[in-house]
A and B are shown apart, each in its own frame.
Chain A
Amino acid sequence: MSLIRRKNVPESSEAEIVDAEDDKKSKVPERKNRQWSCLDTCCWMVGCICVVWWLLLFSYNAMPASFPQFVTEAITGPLPDPPGVKVLKEGLKVKHPVVFVPGIVTAGLELWEGKDCTDGLFRKRLWGGTFGEVYKRPLCWMEHMILDNETGLDPPGVRVRPVTGLVAADYFAPGYFVWAVLIGNLARLGYEEKNMYMASYDWRLSFQNTEVRDQTLSRIKSNIELMVATSGGKKAVIIPHSMGVLYFLHFMKWVEAPAPMGGGGGPNWCAKHLKAVMNIGGPFLGVPKSVPGLFSAEVRDIAIIRAVAPGILDKDLFRFHMMLQHVMKVTRTWDSTMSMIPKGGDTIWGGLDWSPEEGYSPGKRDQNNNGTETPDNSEDENLISDAKHAHYGRIISFGKEAAIAAAAELKRIDFRDAVKGRNVANSSCRDVWTEYHDMGFGGINAVAEYKVYTADEILELLQFVAPKMMARGSAHFSYGIAENLDDPKYDHYKYWSNPLETKLPNAPDMEIFTLYGVGIPTERAYVYGLTNSAECAIPFQIDTSAHCADSCLAGGVYTVDGDETVPTLSAGYMCAKGWRGKTRFNPSGIKTYVREYDHAPPATLLEGRGTQSGAHVDIMGNFALIEDVLRVAAGATGEELGGDQIYSDILKWADRIKLDL
């Protein structure tokens, strides 16, 4: 084109340029022009995009490394020093070796042996990282993430193993940190691989099975011993997060127990090797969230999706039909989810008409904090009086009426002996078989007729709807409260991860911290309804239409104070009361400290997930928490940190719980 034009330009004056163009156009055959307009435009577009993309890439690469920080500072003013720098300036440096214990879900799993469909995935991450495989071959992925329904171990021909080293849980997905910020700050004090250890384990297994299959507990023991020995006898600081808290509780009992079942470390192992256990967001007494997870494979997030776009989850979207059933089928084989069923029954979590959190009003504390608005007094009172009606003890209620009604008005029909009735299972459901298909309509109706389930009854409910799963799980976990801790039956490992059925080790110099976020609504109780859709579907689901005047009940979920996942009660009770001083659960009088961090959402987008967040995972980037951890790692005691730091009503709630100590 350009050639032709050049030829034409000399003979045409400036004014005739249009004619020149005309001539050219008339000379060029019609078909070619059409090509330019379609195919070439495509090429032109692609070229443009490529060029812009390259330019951006080039400028990104040429950009000095400090540029993002510079921009952030220009917009938000100078950032506070990261805690690592701050503490380093005070002259603190590396002292005690540090062990991280990641929680459920956050640690990576990689493939060591698989079926044919996993070609090329050897030693690639199936869990964590980019999750590319989930989209490419979901059913294959599913098949490898699932465990054996009977044993809770690997299905035959599949070996999926935890990733080892700090990379196991530093980032969950690219850009989504879990431990990375903490590791970075510890490194500023001089920490490195030799005095930091990530105790990664397969979080799908029951705790004792990680030892049976992978010898994970033995490795942790040996690594702690090694690090203590190579850092000149300085005891280790353990930092478990989320379910890692329970895992490490299990470890402390295991390591001192005699050899065949335990680690054979002898009665003083913990006293000799551990300086402090700094539990971050620990679900000591379980999380109510795990109940709907097991019961109907849904939590608030999924329930919200259902409310916003009903039908999406039930459709054959992405050729991945019956997603929820698949999720349920997989998660029910993971023993670890059962470690987080609420523990302590009605004593801790409340009965039909009382609960430790009653009277909690989420709006109140927020307004106190903000102090900007002064709402109508009458409305405030309304809130409180409404909140008094919230029966958090009823973890599952069928229908909103049942959730609100007074205890005396409830008409309940016992489900335990109900005949399960006709089997609804048919051949079309076979590939997503869940235990619900063994239950007839009778059983399902019986469950719904009982109306309300408290923490104790939840266990019976789960046993009723999923007997096989609970049989497998109850061999590894227990949810009760010990009458007499000296009973020899408590030597069995299934009690080790329940703080209400074990004694802490004999280590009076050890310190136990519990660090968690508060100020975020956290799931506590659910309103359920029956589904009447497809035959293969899960028969129950959260009733997202259930709302209350107060914000406690929204979308069928009652919320209390917590860190979005773990209610304050579960994270704080043991350290605030159960282990405080010398109790029967803490015979040697290990000192305990409660450190709460009030949630403040990130001020700007540039802050990412915030440096003052209190959310369950985001708290790992909370500067105040990191500073506390660094100080303890550098040798500070709980007293030097400033003892307890409490924002929530945990002490009041703990007093309402009537538990022999």
Chain B
Amino acid sequence: MLSFELKGKFGSAMGSLASVMRFLRSCFMEHVKVSSLLRFKSNEASEKKKVVKATDSDRKDDHDGVLSSDGKVTEKVEKGRQNKRERSRACKCINSCCWLIGCMCTTSWLLLVFLAYIIHASMPAVQLPEFPGARMKREGVVANHPVVLVPGIITGGLELWEGKPCAAPLFRKRLWGGWGSGCTNIFRSPLCWTEHLSLDYETGLDPPGIRVRPVPGLIAADYFAPGYFVWAVLIENLAQIGYEDRNMYMAAYDWRLSFQNTEVRDRSLSRLKAQIEIMYATNGDKKVVVLPHSMGAVYFLHFLKWVEAPAPMGGGGGPGWCAKHIKAVVNIGPTYLGVPKAFSTLLSAEGKDISIIRAMASGLLESELFGLQTVEHVMRVSRTWDSIISLLPKGGEAVWGNLDWSPEEGYECGLEKKRHFQADSRENNSKSSEENSSLQVNHPKKYGRVISFGQEASQVHSSKLPTFSKDFMHTSISTNLNASHGKFRTEFDEMSHESFDKIVEKKVYTTTDLVDLLRYVAPKMMRRAEAHYSHGIAENLEDPKYNHHKYWSNPLETKLPDAPDMEIYCLYGVGLPTERSYVYKMSPSSDKRKGIPFRIDNSVDGSDDCLKAGIYFVDGDETVPVLSSGFMCAKGWKGKTRFNPSGSATYIREYRHKPPASLFEGRGLESSGHVDIMGNLAMIEDVLRVAAGATGPEMGGDQIHSDLLKMCDRVNVPL
């Protein structure tokens, strides 16, 4: 509020800066006069008038002296008075403004100092639990294996190396992440900013004349924004047991690019390989522990294949490279089988957060506030990022369910909350579980229908759905070029109304259908991206086509490297509602031409917690469903399977979410949100133990809270 007022004031004041300065100066004089006047107050009343009049004429003199050097006093009395009155009013106004601001500033400063003092004094009372690093150091745990951190999507910083003139002063400043000095630029010229962050629509590489590169080093992703840690807590704990730059490496890469393109453009994979080799060599031939987070897990899977593949396409490390250099891959919140969120991002550039904003302030995003079409811009930019395609759900209907079936069916959303209550009030277990099971029968959610148009379509039995062939997706699109949106064009603008209607008529889409749908609505993007990613399940892994790099990041289409001693951990949070499928609707017809024809129907709410604002939720870490992060470790790679021919050991460590107990804990010490889990003390302890040399069985093997195993059994993938 205050800042708004001030800004208004600034706007008006800017134009007349000079005059304000003059006013201030004269005001100061006036002020001095007034204060000097006050001294006469105690004088006798009879003398008062005289004296004041004398000083008054003095003052006039003064004014004339200041403003006009050659003024004659007697002539200008009248004028001077009038002038003075106006001026004194303006002065009073400015004076009181200044006084007000000064008062507010001083009081707020005083308050701040006071508060800081109080908090400081009362801090010892709110003792935070000790970091695991410090405790373990006392127990004698020391740095052993070198550690490689692989950040995920979005959290890594990007900086500018070459740009258009509008971004000239931002050379080597962060455009993404950090949000320090680059931040002001975003607000000053958002279009310039989006222009630099988007990639070329055809090639998926830099647009001409722009080079935006990942920030290297630990600073790349320690804090995403000031105060919002990503890796910082983990790094600090690792440092407490003896890690430093020489045995800790942040494999920063440009998370907008497809994985193979990070090598083509930046040599990121080669650098990662060289760094692992040098850390292995300089730390007494100790194997490396890799800690990928989120999309980093898929990126590192790609790396594992790349490094052993022969030279032109791969890194030429030879077949034993992973076995020789890697002790363990400790995935934190891995997105192995993708996230359903990616569909909604690509189709309508909205996730839960945006649809909630839309529900609360429905006009905000649509209105051309700030002359922007925010959502359209987000969509236009994010569609140039190949990496988002890597997050599309993999494995199709066999993993994610079809019209009638899904692995998560029977998941009870209220359950998590109830479990919390149980823990608190120590209720009788058997009783509540009976309750749960009785609730469970009511609505078997059809999570397999990732996108349905209308709530009804998401719930009815499959036989009642209109039978509709997918043929329309293979017909060519009737073009509907609209010149008015030439600048902010998305591929939707090239489609006609009829095709939108057809899309809506089909009502229900499973993951497989959705990939087809994306190919239909955004053919260029999918053509570009599908040269780099594949989302299927391999029939026969020996097929030579699987040597192509586009399969390397899909765990269902690659074999793990031949490294029987390597361990794979899946560490992730559970107990948070996670987006799984969506109820869509057409955009209001007036907006149709503005780029995005569909949106989440946020008016749809279910009877329980599972369906809220048009989104069906399942268990997960708020971003990645349990199925995606856990399936490979729990089943796909467990033991010797065709995806894991050498039988690398896999372990699952789940962490149940507990919201922060008090404000002092910040984002929580036992949180399991997708990013907040990086500050989860239990997880940090596990990571430190592995880094210090512990093996999976020493850590206690699997630790499963969710219904993951049950879900996995329902998934029908030949192993």
Q: Are chains A and B native binding partners rather than an unrelated pairing?
A: yes
* Interface 1/0 per residue, A216-228 and B, CB below 8 Å: 0011001101100
Which residue on chain B has the smallest CB distance to residue A219? B278
Q: B184 and A43: CB pair below 8 A?
A: no
Which residue on chain A has the smallest CB distance to residue B187? A61
Stretch at the interface among B95-103, B381-389, B395-403, B501-509: B95-103
Name the interface residues of A17-45: CB closer than 8 Å to any CB of B: 17-19, 21-22, 25-26, 30, 33, 37, 40-45
Interface flag for B14 (CB, 8 Å): yes
Q: How far is the CA of A294 from the CA of B334 in the complex (A)?
A: 55
Q: Which residues of A contact B277 (CB under 8 A)?
A: 222
Interface flag for B638 (CB, 8 Å): no
* Interface 1/0 per residue, B226-249 and A, CB below 8 Å: 000000000110011000111000
Q: B106 and A167: CB pair below 8 A?
A: no
Separation in Å of the A498 CB from the closest CB of chain B?
A: 26
Interface flag for A418 (CB, 8 Å): no
* Interface 1/0 per residue, A149-163 and B, CB below 8 Å: 000000000010110
Which residue on chain A has the smallest CB distance to residue B167? A65
Separation in Å of the A438 CB from the closest CB of chain B?
A: 35
Q: Which residues of A contact B213 (CB under 8 A)?
A: 192-193
Interface flag for A484 (CB, 8 Å): no
Name the interface residues of A27-81: CB closer than 8 Å to any CB of B: 30, 33, 37, 40-48, 50-51, 54-55, 58-59, 61-62, 65-66
Separation in Å of the B222 CB from the closest CB of chain A?
A: 8
Q: A183 and B38: CB pair below 8 A?
A: no
Interface flag for A123 (CB, 8 Å): yes
Separation in Å of the A65 CB from the closest CB of chain B?
A: 4
Stretch at the interface among B46-54, B587-595, B621-629, B666-674: B46-54
Which residue on chain B has the smallest CB distance to residue A180? B172
Interface flag for A421 (CB, 8 Å): no
Q: B102 and A218: CB pair below 8 A?
A: no
Q: How far is the CA of A653 from the CA of B421 in the complex (A)?
A: 88
Interface flag for B105 (CB, 8 Å): yes
The 8 Å CB contact of B239, one of A14, A58, A112, A187, is: A112
Q: How far is the CA of A214 from the CA of B278 in the complex (A)?
A: 12
Name the interface residues of B259-276: CB closer than 8 Å to any CB of A: 266-267, 270-271, 274-275
Separation in Å of the B330 CB from the closest CB of chain A?
A: 22
The 8 Å CB contact of B267, one of A40, A164, A194, is: A194
Q: B266 and A26: CB pair below 8 A?
A: no
Q: Which residues of B contact A122 (CB under 8 A)?
A: 236, 239
Q: Which residues of B contact A225 (CB under 8 A)?
A: 274
Q: How far is the CA of A194 from the CA of B265 in the complex (A)?
A: 9
Q: Which residues of A contact B218 (CB under 8 A)?
A: 123, 164
Separation in Å of the A649 CB from the closest CB of chain B?
A: 40
Interface flag for A230 (CB, 8 Å): yes
Q: A37 and B38: CB pair below 8 A?
A: yes
Interface flag for B81 (CB, 8 Å): yes
Q: B274 and A226: CB pair below 8 A?
A: yes
Interface flag for A312 (CB, 8 Å): no
Known contacts A2-B96, A112-B244, A122-B236; is-contact A226 B270 (Cβ 8 Å): yes
The 8 Å CB contact of B92, one of A2, A161, A188, is: A2
Q: How far is the CA of A30 from the CA of B40 in the complex (A)?
A: 11
Q: How far is the CA of A22 from the CA of B37 in the complex (A)?
A: 10
Q: How far is the CA of A41 from the CA of B95 in the complex (A)?
A: 10
Q: Which residues of A contact B24 (CB under 8 A)?
A: 48
Q: A43 and B56: CB pair below 8 A?
A: no
The 8 Å CB contact of A187, one of B42, B106, B161, is: B161
Name the interface residues of A123-175: CB closer than 8 Å to any CB of B: 123, 159, 161-162, 164-167, 170
Q: How far is the CA of A289 from the CA of B52 in the complex (A)?
A: 70
Q: Which residues of A contact B606 (CB under 8 A)?
A: none
Q: Which residues of B contact A166 (CB under 8 A)?
A: 172, 216
Interface flag for B168 (CB, 8 Å): yes
Q: Which residues of B contact A214 (CB under 8 A)?
A: 245-246
Q: How far is the CA of A66 from the CA of B172 in the complex (A)?
A: 17
The 8 Å CB contact of A25, one of B38, B102, B281, is: B38
Interface flag for A385 (CB, 8 Å): no
Which residue on chain B has the smallest CB distance to residue A14? B81
Separation in Å of the B49 CB from the closest CB of chain A?
A: 7
Interface flag for B17 (CB, 8 Å): yes
Which residue on chain A has the smallest CB distance to residue B189? A65
Q: Which residues of B contact A645 (CB under 8 A)?
A: none
The 8 Å CB contact of B101, one of A41, A51, A113, A184, is: A51
Q: How far is the CA of A166 from the CA of B159 in the complex (A)?
A: 13
Q: A44 and B244: CB pair below 8 A?
A: no
Q: Which residues of A contact B95 (CB under 8 A)?
A: 44
Interface flag for B211 (CB, 8 Å): yes
Interface flag for B219 (CB, 8 Å): yes
Q: Which residues of B contact A43 (CB under 8 A)?
A: 99, 102-103, 106
Interface flag for A215 (CB, 8 Å): yes
Interface flag for B13 (CB, 8 Å): yes
Q: How far is the CA of A14 from the CA of B45 in the complex (A)?
A: 21
Q: B49 and A22: CB pair below 8 A?
A: yes
Q: B102 and A42: CB pair below 8 A?
A: yes
Q: B282 and A47: CB pair below 8 A?
A: no
Name the interface residues of B273-301: CB closer than 8 Å to any CB of A: 274-275, 277-278, 281-282
Separation in Å of the B701 CB from the closest CB of chain A?
A: 33
Which residue on chain A has the smallest CB distance to residue B109? A46
Name the interface residues of A621-647: CB closer than 8 Å to any CB of B: none
Q: B81 and A48: CB pair below 8 A?
A: no
Interface flag for B162 (CB, 8 Å): yes
Q: B99 and A230: CB pair below 8 A?
A: no
Q: Which residues of B contact A419 (CB under 8 A)?
A: none
The 8 Å CB contact of B246, one of A46, A194, A219, is: A219
Interface flag for A229 (CB, 8 Å): yes
Q: How far is the CA of A218 from the CA of B278 in the complex (A)?
A: 8
Q: B239 and A30: CB pair below 8 A?
A: no
Separation in Å of the A314 CB from the closest CB of chain B?
A: 36
The 8 Å CB contact of A22, one of B42, B52, B244, B245, is: B52
Q: Which residues of B contact A183 (CB under 8 A)?
A: 172
Query: Which residue of B222, B235, B282 has the most chain A CB atoms within 10 A of its CB atom?
Result: B282
Separation in Å of the A582 CB from the closest CB of chain B?
A: 36
Q: How far is the CA of A58 from the CA of B99 in the complex (A)?
A: 20
Separation in Å of the B578 CB from the closest CB of chain A?
A: 33
The 8 Å CB contact of B41, one of A17, A25, A112, is: A25
Q: A47 and B169: CB pair below 8 A?
A: no
Q: Which residues of A contact B52 (CB under 8 A)?
A: 18, 21-22
The 8 Å CB contact of A66, one of B49, B102, B168, B281, is: B168
Which residue on chain B has the smallest CB distance to residue A19? B49
Q: A184 and B35: CB pair below 8 A?
A: no
The 8 Å CB contact of B103, one of A47, A51, A66, is: A47
Q: Which residues of B contact A46 (CB under 8 A)?
A: 101-102, 105-106
Q: A193 and B246: CB pair below 8 A?
A: no
Q: A164 and B171: CB pair below 8 A?
A: no
Name the interface residues of A224-245: CB closer than 8 Å to any CB of B: 225-226, 229-230
Q: How far is the CA of A180 from the CA of B216 in the complex (A)?
A: 16
Q: Which residues of B contact A66 (CB under 8 A)?
A: 168
Which residue on chain A has the smallest CB distance to residue B161? A192
Which residue on chain A has the smallest CB distance to residue B248? A112
Q: A18 and B53: CB pair below 8 A?
A: yes
Separation in Å of the A282 CB from the closest CB of chain B?
A: 27
Q: How far is the CA of A21 from the CA of B38 in the complex (A)?
A: 11
The 8 Å CB contact of A18, one of B56, B166, B214, is: B56
The chain A residues found within 8 Å of chain B, CB to CB, are 1-2, 14, 17-19, 21-22, 25-26, 30, 33, 37, 40-48, 50-51, 54-55, 58-59, 61-62, 65-66, 112-113, 122-123, 159, 161-162, 164-167, 170, 180, 183-184, 187-188, 190, 192-194, 214-215, 218-219, 222-223, 225-226, 229-230
List 17 additional A-B contacts (Cβ < 8 Å) besides A2-B96, A166-B216, A215-B282: A14-B85, A17-B81, A22-B49, A26-B41, A30-B41, A44-B102, A46-B105, A48-B102, A55-B10, A61-B188, A123-B239, A166-B172, A187-B172, A192-B161, A219-B246, A226-B270, A229-B270
A-B contact pairs, 9 of them (CB 8 A): A17-B85, A25-B38, A33-B38, A47-B105, A50-B102, A165-B216, A167-B219, A187-B161, A190-B162
